Amino acid sequence: MTYRIEFDIAAVFLTLFIMYYIVFRKGLRRHANRVYLGMLVLNFLAEIADIIGSLANNDPYYYSPLIQYFWNFLYIVTHNMMALVLIIYLFYLIGYEKDKKKALIALSVPYVIEMLLILSNPFHGLIFYFDENRIYRHGAVFPLLYIIAFAYMTFGIYLVFRHRKGITAAKSNALFFFMLITFVPIIFQIIFPQYLLTLFFDTLGLMGILFTIENKDDVINPTTGILNRYALQTTLDRVMISGGYTMILLKIPNLNYYNKMIGFENMNDILRRISVWLEKQCDSYSCYDCGRAHFAVLCDGITGEETDHIKETTLKRFERPWGKGRFSLVFPVQFGVVKIPDDVKTMENLFMLIDAPFDGKITTELNVDKTISRYERNVLVERLIDKAVRNKSFQVYYQPIWDSNTGSVRSAEALCRLIDDEYGMIPPDEFIPISERNGAILEIGRFVFEEVCRFYKEERLKSHGIDYIEVNLSVVQCMSRDLEKLFVEILDRYSIDASCINLEITESATAENRKILVDTIGTLSKRGFNFSLDDYGTGYSNISYMYEMPFSIIKIDMSILWKAIDPKTDERERNAVIFLENTVRMLKDMGYHILVEGVETISQKLFLEEMGCDYLQGYYFSKPVQKKVFADYLKVVNA
Ligand code: C2E
Ligand code: MG
Ligand code: MG
C-alpha cells in the first residue's frame, strides 16, 4: 500500500496560514488563545511527522530504520496529544475555572496511560511495529488509541452541550463542527487506509474555530486595540453563572469635553496609551474598553491586596499627564471594585455600574451600593410610571396662586402626582425627569392637560374667579410635532379658550433647547396660549432668551426668596434681599408680571407685596391639594 500524502501537504499550508494569522495579527494574550496556538503547533508537527513517516513507510529501504521509526513515533505522540489539548481549550472557553485542576488531573489519566504505552512502544510494539519487510503495522493495542480519542471527543461534545448557555451559539456550533469533522476521516480511512485525511480534516476544524471563536475583529476595539464591550458581554454571560470574579472599573469623566478640547485623534491616542498601560498592569487578566473612556478589568481569583495594589498604582499614574507635548493632559479618574456576584446579581446591574457616569463630584471611588440602589430605584419608578400611564392613575393637584393686586386667588398651578398603592407617593422631582428620559412624559403631559381642561370646565372655575391654570410643560413635549394639534383638540373638546391655560417652561430648559422652544412657544402663542418662565434664577441666567420668547409671567424660584428671608426664622440676609429687590424691579421694568414661589410665612408675604410682586404661591396660602379640596377652598377664599 502506498500512502497518499497530498492531503497532509495541503494541511501543512493551511496550518501555516492559520498560525501566521494568529501570531502576526494584533492578538490577544488570553489563555484560550495560547492553547489554540498550542493545538496548531501540535497539528503542524503531526503533519510533518506524518508526511516524512509515510514517505519512509512507502519506501523503507531508502530511509534508515531509525528515521522511519522516529517520524512514525512522533506522529503518534503529537496526534494523540490533540484530544487532551482540545479539552483544555474547551475548559478555558466555557470558563470552567473552578476545580479545573482536579478535573484536568482526572481527565489526564487515560492520556497518561496512552502516553506510557506509546513511549514504551519500542520495547513491546503493542501500538505499532514494523514487520520483517519494514512495513508499518498497527499493534494489538492500537485500537485503544481510537477508543481514548473517541472518549475525549464525546466528553468534549458533552462539555459544549452542557455549557452551551454560557457560550454563544456561534462558538458552540464551531466546536461541534470541529469535533464532528474529526470523525469523518476515521470512517473514510477504514475503507481507504492509504488516504491520509485525518490531519487535513483536523485543520479544517481548526480553521472553523479560527473564523468563529478566534476571530477577534468583532471583539476588539479598533481605537484602543483591547477587547470591546461586545466581548465583555459574551464573557459575562458565563461569568454571571459561574461567579467568583472581581471587576475593576476605571473611568475618566467628560470624554466629550476632552474630545472638544484636544480633538478626537489626540484623545484617541491617549485612550490607546491608557489601554496599553492598563493591560500591562493587569497582564494576567482581560481588559475591556467599554466605551466613553470607561474601562473594565475582569479578574478571576484576585486577592484584596492585589486590587489595592492596582488601585494605588493607577491613582499614582493618573497624577501624571497622559499624551505627548501640548496635548498631554492630567485626568481625574474614578476607580471601582465590583465583586461578582456579591455586589451585583444581574448583568443589567453590572452594565449599569460600568456605564454610570461620574455623579457630579469627582471622587476617585465608585460607590457600588449607592449606584446600584439609585439604578434600582430608577427601574422601580420607571415601572410605576408605566403602570400609572396604563391605568391612568396619575392625579392632578392644584396649588392656589394668590393675586396681591386683588387680594384673591385668580389662578392655580396644576401639579402631577404619582401615588402608588404599594409604594405610596413618588415625588415629581423624581418621576418627571425619568419620564422625560423614557418618553412617558408625553402621556403624562397629555393626561395633565386634559384633566385640567375637564376640571376647569366641569367645576366652572371661571365663575369662581379663576382666570387661568398654570400647566407645566416639559421640553420633551415641545419636541413633539403634534403638540399644538393635541392641545387644540383637547381645548375644543371642552370648549375652553387657550387663554385659560398658562404654560410653564423651566429656565434650565430654555438654556438647553432654545431653538425648539422658540419655535414651539411661537406657534402655541399664536394659538392664544400664555407662557410663564418657571424657576427663574436657578438655570443659566442668560437674559437674552427671554426676549425671544413671549413670557407674560416670570416665576422667581423659592430658593431666591428663602435666601432673602429664611422661612424658618424670618431672618433677612442683606445681600440676598438686595438681589431679590433688584431682580423684581428689573423684571417689572421689563414689563413682566412677577410671581414668587415658596411663600411660607406672613412676613415673606408682606415683604413681597410691599415690593410689588403680582402673584404669590406657597404653603402660606395652601399646599397643592386635590381638585375637590381646591374647589371648596375657592368657595371660601373667593367668596
Ligand atoms: P415647579 O413647577 O416649580 O412646582 C412648584 C413646586 O414647589 C411644587 O413641587 C410645589 O409643591 C412646591 N412648592 C410650592 N410652594 C411651596 C412652599 O411654600 N414650600 C415648599 N417647600 N414647596 C413649595 P412639586 O409638586 O413636588 O413639583 C416639583 C416639580 O415637578 C415642579 O416644580 C415641576 O417642575 C415638576 N412637575 C410637577 N408636575 C408636573 C407636570 O404635570 N408636568 C411637568 N412637566 N412637570 C411637573
Ligand atoms: Mg411649575
Ligand atoms: Mg417652580
C-alpha distances (whole Å) from 45 to each of 38, 72, 137, 560 are: 11, 12, 21, 81
Ligand 1 pocket residue status of 448, Cβ below 6 Å: yes
Interatomic CA distance for residues 197 and 7, integer angstroms: 6
Q: Is the CB of 619 under 6 A from ligand 1?
A: yes
In the chain, what's the furthest Cα-to-Cα distance?
A: 126
Atom 19 in ligand 1: which residue has the minimum CA distance?
A: 598
Superfamily of domain 6-218: Rhodopsin 7-helix transmembrane proteins (1.20.1070.10)
Which of 472, 561, 623 best tests ligand 1's pocket when mutated (most atoms within 8 Å of CB)?
472
Q: Which ligand is nearest to the CA of 502?
A: 2
Backbone phi, psi, residue 192, to 5°: -120, 80
Nearest CA to ligand 1 atom 26: 428
Contacts of 118 (CB under 8 A, 6+ apart): 73, 76, 77, 80, 127
Residues with Cβ–ion distance below 5 A, ligand 3:
534-535
The response to whether residue 426 sits with its C-beta less than 6 Å from ligand 1 reads no
| Nearest residue (CA) to ligand 1, atom 33 | 472
Cell 464525546 -> residue:
154
Task: Give the residue ranges of the chain where pLDDT is below 70.
Answer: 25-31, 95-100, 165-167, 358-363, 508-513, 539-542
pLDDT tens-digit profile of 56-76? 999 888 988 999 999 999 999
- Residue pair 192/2 in contact (Cβ under 8 Å)? The answer is no
d(CA 618, CA 635): 19
Q: What is the pLDDT of residue 57?
A: 92
Number of neighbours of residue 91 by Cβ within 10 angstroms: 20
E strands, 557-639, where?
Answer: 593-596, 615-617
**Could you tell me if the CB of 416 is within 6 A of ligand 1?**
yes
Does residue 35 contact residue 88 with C-beta atoms inside 8 Å?
Answer: yes
Q: Is the dihedral of CA 111, 113, 118, 120 positive or negative?
A: positive
Atom 23, ligand 1: residue with shortest CA distance: 598
Q: How far is the CA of 617 from the centre of ligand 3 (A)?
A: 10
| Residue 347 CA to ligand 2 centre (angstroms) | 38
How far apart CA 558 and CA 138 sit, in angstroms, is 95
* CA–CA gap between residue 242 and residue 166 (Å, rounded): 9
Cβ neighbours of residue 165 closer than 8 Å, sequence gap 6 or more: 237, 241
Tell me how far the alpha carbon of residue 21 lies from the centroid of ligand 1, in angstroms: 63
- Cα-to-centroid distance, 388 and ligand 1 (Å): 19
- pLDDT of 359 reads 60
* Å from CA of 455 to ligand 1 middle: 19
Distance from C-alpha of 555 to C-alpha of 409, rounded to nearest angstrom: 16
Among the atoms of ligand 1, which is closest to the Cα of residue 620? 18
- What end-to-end distance do the CA atoms of the chain give, in Å? 118
Atom 10 of ligand 1: nearest residue by CA position: 624
Please give the DSSP secondary-structure letter assigned to residue 283. Answer: T
CB-ligand 1 contact for 568 (6 Å cutoff): no
Ligand 1 atom nearest to 555, measured from its CA: 3
CATH node for 381-550+623-637: 3.20.20.450
534 close to ligand 1 (CB < 6 Angstrom):
yes
Ligand with smallest separation from the Cα of 621? 1
Binding site membership of 474 for ligand 1 (Cβ less than 6 Å): yes
- Name the grid cell of 199: 490531519
- Say which ligand is closest to the CA of 538: 3
The domain limits of the chain are 6-218, 227-366, 381-550+623-637
Q: What's the gap in Å between 472 CA and the centre of ligand 2?
A: 5
Whether 616 is in the pocket of ligand 1, judged by its Cβ within 6 Å, is: no
CATH entry, 227-366, from 3.40.50.300, 3.30.230.10, 3.40.50.920, 3.30.70.270? 3.30.70.270
Q: Is 598 in the pocket of ligand 1 (CB under 6 A)?
A: yes
CA of 427 to the centre of ligand 1 (A): 9
Contacts of 144 (CB under 8 A, 6+ apart): 114, 117
| pLDDT given at position 150 | 87
Output the pLDDT for position 541.
55
Give CA–CA dist 110/133, Å, rounded.
33
The Cα-based distances of 450 to 418, 444, 458, 486 in angstroms read 16, 10, 12, 10
Alpha carbon distance 413, 608 (integer Å): 19
Q: Is 439 in the pocket of ligand 1 (CB under 6 A)?
A: no
Q: Which ligand is nearest to the CA of 401?
A: 1
Q: Which of 397, 413, 432 to mutate to test ligand 1, by most ligand atoms within 8 A of the CB atom?
A: 432
CB-ligand 1 contact for 404 (6 Å cutoff): no
Question: Which residue's alpha carbon is at the smallest distance from atom 43 of ligand 1?
Answer: 472
Give the count of alpha carbons within 13 A of 593, CB side only: 16
> 479 CA distance to ligand 2 centroid (A)?
19
50 Cβ below 6 A of ligand 1: no
Element at 111 (helix H, strand E) = helix 100-119
Pocket probe for ligand 1: among 381, 409, 415, the residue whose CB has the most ligand atoms within 8 Å is 415
Residue whose Cα lies nearest atom 12 of ligand 1: it is: 598
Q: Is 432 in the pocket of ligand 1 (CB under 6 A)?
A: yes
